[in-house]
Amino acid sequence: MPFEIVRNDITNMRVDAIVNAASRYPRVNAGVDSAIHKKAGPALLEARKEIGYIQPGSAAITPAFNLDAEYVIHAATPTWTDGLHGESQLLRQAYDMCLDLAVKNNCDSIAFPRLASGNHGFPKAKALRVAIAAFSDFLMEHEMQIYLVVFGKESLKLSEKLVQNVRSFIDENYVDAYEQETYGGPGNTRRGGQYAARKAMEPLEDYEEVGCAPSVSDSAPLSLDEFVKQKDAGFTETLLELIQKSGQKNSTIYKKANISKQHFSKIINDPNAKPSKQTAIALALALELDLEATRDLIGRAGFALTNSSTFDLIIRYFIEHKQFNVIEINIALYEFDQILLGSV
């Protein structure tokens, strides 16, 4: 998927470009900056000195030296004051310049840390929203793999209120009896949620097209040939019809769905394609389908949305609140330890 959240040390990323949360001056700061310079070797600082001062909201590029990358892009981010001094605009400029430099240097992949939310004191939720907006806009116009690298067990939250609202929605709708029966009580909620999430990714048994199987009259049984002929349209056919009705280009849909062009092509060129559940839902979200239409579309790939899966309930929450940005939803899924949309 073009945008991916990974839990890793950014200095270990094998990508074309690694973004460094750099000092404005040619010196090494603590945190990510120090780690990148340490692994890249002293030549990185010498290259950085040749650049000189970097204006906040700007970025510059150097070779990556001993890192597993071609380039390091040094981003100078603003220091948070009170939000009234253009901090968000400057941070967005820094993200945009990093991505622009990656394009100009023919990069196919780029890894970002969480810019500005460390030493520069930017509120983490605000900084994350700026990043999401920059990535979303960029990926609508370009083909590139973007990684947001999270170190250790660092949390990602768009807002505390959103997390609380999603958690409340899950608590209100979750089928408690399922976990009670499977794990013996609410004390294992997290474990039960992960199990249910795995089960929810699997196609439902005994159906080729969930929700699409033709009905059979008891008084007039059909032959097998007649029964098969009544089969409804499959996932691919229905998807293409929905895209046509939406008036959007195929490229717009797969980019909004956080799906690669290659993956999308495999789906639309195979009338019997059975995408993963997370891919099917991502495409429904890209089309901004309501809950009923989403269930119908993913049902044609053999999936359903249930109240016994944390993953499903998070998806329901965003659909019911008419929030369809897949990257934002993936941030919420990540926060709840769920599989991300767009993954194969």
Domain boundaries, given as residue ranges, for the chain: 3-150, 160-335
- Report the topology of domain 3-150: Leucine Aminopeptidase, subunit E; domain 1 (3.40.220)
**Is 171 known to be catalytic?**
no
Residue 212, pLDDT above cutoff 50:
no
**Catalytic hit among 9, 16, 33, 270:** 33
* Residue 317 in this model has a pLDDT that exceeds 90: yes
For the residues 84-99, what does the mean pLDDT come to? 94
Alpha helices (H) in the chain, listed in sequence order: 32-40, 42-51, 87-104, 124-139, 160-173, 176-183, 189-200, 224-229, 235-246, 250-256, 261-268, 277-286, 291-299, 310-320, 326-335
Residue 155: the pLDDT is: 63
Q: Note the pLDDT of residue 199.
A: 56
| Half-sphere exposure in the Cβ direction for 58 (13 Å, CA) | 10
- pLDDT over 80 at 40, yes or no: yes
CB 1 within 8 A of CB 144: no
Across the chain, mean pLDDT equals 86
Percent over 70 (pLDDT), the chain:
82
Range 218-224 average pLDDT: 60
Residues 231, 232, 233, 239, Cα dihedral to 10°:
-140
Identity of the residue numbered 119: N
Q: Which residue has the tokens 């750099």?
A: 22
Q: Report the pLDDT value the prediction gives residue 282, as an integer from 0 to 100.
A: 97
**15-24, 150-159, 248-257 — which is least confidently predicted?**
150-159
Chain segment 222-242, per-residue pLDDT in tens: 565 654 455 578 999 999 999
